[in-house]
């Protein structure tokens, strides 16, 4: 079964992909936030531990229709989280292992990624000129513009984002003002976000847009030569589309490279020699979610004092090299210098390379030397600004 789960700051949702309808279907919950939001399960993400998260996941999964699962079918469950930070993701990973489901059946994505999967799974007419998400939270109106561009024959989806925040803007989702009272300022924000852009569709979500009707003038601006949609289930359905498209056995992958927030836009490569032939070895592929991008390989080193790491930005095409000093690792003749080369990420713009002397089986004992170096994946952007 293809399943999407959204864990927000104060509520969570679950849906599944219906093969007959060819779209995600939301599942109603018992403990709803209020009668109007029967699909939202009350849960406070802030302060939650792995046991709380495990209980939440099990409760949500138990709501799925029993007749929706085919015999022998592999489950593919994607969870999108409003707080896509390492501490939350590590708790969530621990919670998953307590559910009894196989770890490889799960994946985690951010709300930005879930929106991208949702928007670009719709009819082409709704994204051909790009799509904008207006996520109206308590800290402001978050705008995300995405469109398909082609670089070197590869289709990719980059993101432009902005946060509009003021006393008036924040007062609406905080229930101190109405949309009508903030309409003038909201229109200014929307017009600024859409300035110089031809947009096929605008999607509205978040606490600020939880209203029966939108003010007339705001509606007119949103719907000018484009479609506009409002709802609170965009992220959970985006998670289901992500589970569907990343399930390669299902054959639904679009082949587009997602280059939004929380996706790696800088690839990491090494120059290697395999069977006497020089090659470029890709350690990290652009478009990978940073939380799942970590990788470790073993290398046999020749007489070298540095390892050049080649970094290539998929969105700009710029390439640069960062040399990692490994002179502390003893060199051994006869191709007996073996190291573990590991890359770990803690965000989409920062990683740590760890190189550890592994010795050589029973012939040479490891020196125990470990070299670590941080890599700022935004260095190329900084250099371009300085120029």
CB within 8 A of 381, min separation 6: which ones? Answer: none
Q: Is residue 31 helix, strand or coil?
A: coil
Show the domains of the chain with their CATH numbers. 2-259 (no CATH), 266-386 (2.60.34)
pLDDT at 30 over 80: no
- HSE (CB half, 13 Å, CA atoms) of 62? 11
Task: State pLDDT tens for residues 91-130.
Answer: 999 999 998 888 888 999 999 999 999 999 999 999 999 9
User: 75 near 42, Cβ under 8 Å?
Assistant: no
Split at pLDDT 50, 70, 90, the class of 348 is very high
Split at pLDDT 50, 70, 90, the class of 216 is very high
Q: What is the pLDDT of residue 138?
A: 94
Task: State pLDDT tens for residues 291-329.
Answer: 999 999 999 988 889 999 999 998 888 899 999 999 999
Residue 24 or residue 74, greater confidence: 24
CB within 8 A of 10, min separation 6: which ones? Answer: 33, 42, 43, 44, 45
pLDDT at 353 over 50: yes
Q: What is the pLDDT of residue 29?
A: 80
- The highest-confidence range among 166-170, 245-249, 257-261, 380-384, by mean pLDDT, is 166-170
As a whole number of angstroms, the distance between CA 65 and CA 63 comes to 6
Task: State pLDDT tens for residues 51-73.
Answer: 999 999 999 999 998 875 554 46
Q: Which residues pair with 27 in a beta bridge?
A: none
Q: What is the bridge-based pairing of β-strands 350-357 and 370-376? A: antiparallel
pLDDT at 34 over 70: no
Nearest to 311 by CA among 336, 287, 290, 282: 282
Q: What is the pLDDT of residue 35?
A: 47
């Amino acid at each position: 079964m293809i399943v999407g789960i959204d864990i927000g700051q104060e509520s969570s949702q679950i849906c599944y992909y219906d093969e007959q309808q060819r779209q995600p279907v939301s599942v109603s919950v018992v403990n709803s936030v209020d009668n109007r939001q029967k699909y939202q399960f009350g849960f406070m993400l802030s302060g939650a531990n792995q046991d709380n998260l495990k209980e939440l996941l099990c409760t949500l999964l138990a709501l799925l229709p029993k007749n929706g699962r085919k015999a022998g079918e592999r489950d593919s469950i994607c969870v999108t989280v409003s707080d896509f930070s390492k501490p939350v993701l590590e708790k969530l990973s621990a919670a998953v292992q307590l559910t009894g489901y196989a770890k490889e059946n799960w994946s985690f994505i951010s709300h930005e990624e879930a929106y991208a999967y949702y928007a670009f799974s719709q009819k082409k007419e709704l994204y051909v000129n790009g799509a904008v998400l207006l996520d109206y939270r308590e800290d402001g109106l978050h705008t995300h513009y995405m469109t398909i561009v082609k670089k070197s024959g590869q289709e990719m989806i980059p993101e432009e984002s902005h946060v509009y925040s003021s006393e008036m803007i924040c007062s609406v989702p905080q229930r101190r003002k109405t949309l009508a009272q903030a309409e003038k300022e909201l229109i200014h924000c929307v017009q600024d976000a859409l300035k110089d852009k031809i947009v096929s569709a605008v999607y509205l979500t978040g606490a600020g847009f939880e209203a029966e009707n939108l003010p007339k003038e705001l509606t007119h601006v949103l719907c000018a030569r484009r479609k506009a949609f409002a709802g609170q289930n965009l992220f959970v359905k985006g998670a289901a589309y992500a589970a569907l498209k990343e399930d390669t056995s299902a054959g639904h992958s679009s082949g587009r490279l997602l280059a939004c927030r929380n996706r790696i836009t800088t690839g990491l490569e090494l120059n290697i020699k395999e069977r006497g032939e020089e090659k470029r070895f890709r350690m990290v592929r652009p478009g990978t979610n940073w939380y799942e991008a970590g990788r470790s390989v073993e290398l046999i080193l020749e007489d070298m004092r540095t390892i050049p790491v080649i970094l290539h930005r998929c969105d700009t095409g710029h390439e640069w090299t960062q040399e990692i000093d490994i002179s502390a690792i003893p060199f051994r003749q006869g191709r007996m210098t073996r190291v573990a080369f590991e890359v770990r990420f803690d965000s989409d713009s920062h990683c740590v390379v760890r190189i550890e002397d592994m010795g050589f089986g029973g012939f040479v004992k490891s020196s125990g030397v470990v070299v670590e170096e941080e890599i700022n994946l935004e260095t190329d952007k900084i250099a371009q600004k300085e120029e």
